[in-house]
Each structure stands twice: as structure tokens, then as C-alpha cells.
Structure 1
Amino acid sequence: MTMVSAWRKLSTPHNGIMELIRQIHFIAATNSFNLRITYIAGVDNSIADAVSRCNWEQFRALHPTALEEPMKVDCDLEFLKRALQTDHETLT
């Protein structure tokens, strides 16, 4: 729930999280889309709850087809990440 509150208030004492929120807002604004973050209780989202608690045994039981190893995501995301870092370094 803390992340949802930080998103709604656009405020948190954690600099790293605040920077992430700013970047997400910037990307949303420059690409003309709206983003809504909603809290879902763990009892209603058991897979995410297991991951957030690092309960891998329960996660595997709930999602047996999940990959064993992390999967590389589309290379465009790496390009976007580098672009955001460059923009951030230019602004600071």
C-alpha cells in the first residue's frame, strides 16, 4: 500500500522511489497515456503476495509454469533505460 500512497501523493521520503515515480510520469506524459496504480490485497493476489514475501515455494505451487531463470526483456527497454539515464544526467 505504501507505493500506491506515494504514487497518489507524488511524494515519498525515499529519493530513489521518488525518482522512479517522476520518470514514470514523464514517460506517460510524453507518450500521452494515463497510468493508474491500484492496491490489491495479498489475499486477492496470491502470486504477487508470494513474490513480495520471497516465498518461492508458494510461488512455484501457484504458478508452476513460471520460468526458472529471469528472462531478458525486449531490447527497446534497455534503449529506453539508457535514454532516461542520459536525460537525468543532463538535467542534474
Structure 2
Amino acid sequence: NSLIEYTKYNFDRLDYIHNIFLGLLGIEQNKVVKIFTVVSVIFLPPTLIASIYGMNFEFMPELDWLFGYPFSLGLMLISAILPIFIFKKKGWL
């Protein structure tokens, strides 16, 4: 009878250790997913702006504007740097 109880106790301990391992593994996976999310958020706005300017339209008034190209580059830079500051402020980076 005591051998059965001892075996049950060991199985419970093993189950507890298994749950701890799965919890730690989940935490590590969440860190990786968070990094991928931050990188995606940083590069999404500049990619959107570049794709809009990469379309072949006949009429785009900003292409004739003298500061159109520097403005679009500045907008891409600001839209990439702003999320970095926000994420650093929140402690995600």
C-alpha cells in the first residue's frame, strides 16, 4: 500500500515539474513573439509609405513637389523611430 502511495507521490511530482517546464517554455516563446511583433510594427509604416510611392499612377502631385522625396523619406524615418521610442518607454525593448 505504501509503495502505491509513494509511486503516486512521484507521479504528482513529475506532473508538477512538467507543468513548470511548460510554463517556462511558454514564457520564452512569448518573448520571441514579442520581438517579432516589435520588429513588424517598426517596419510596417515605412513599407506602406514606400509601396504607395512605388505605384505607377499618372497623377501624383507630390512627385512634382520639390520636397516630396525628402518628405517621404522623413516620414518613413519618423514612422520607424516613433514606435521604437514608444516601446522603449513601455519597457518592451
> Normalized against structure 1, the TM-score is what?
0.26
Q: Which has the higher contact order (CA 8 A, sep 6+)?
A: 2
> Normalized against structure 2, the TM-score is what?
0.25
Whose helix fraction is larger, Structure 1's or Structure 2's? 2
Instruction: State the structure with more CA Rg.
Output: 2
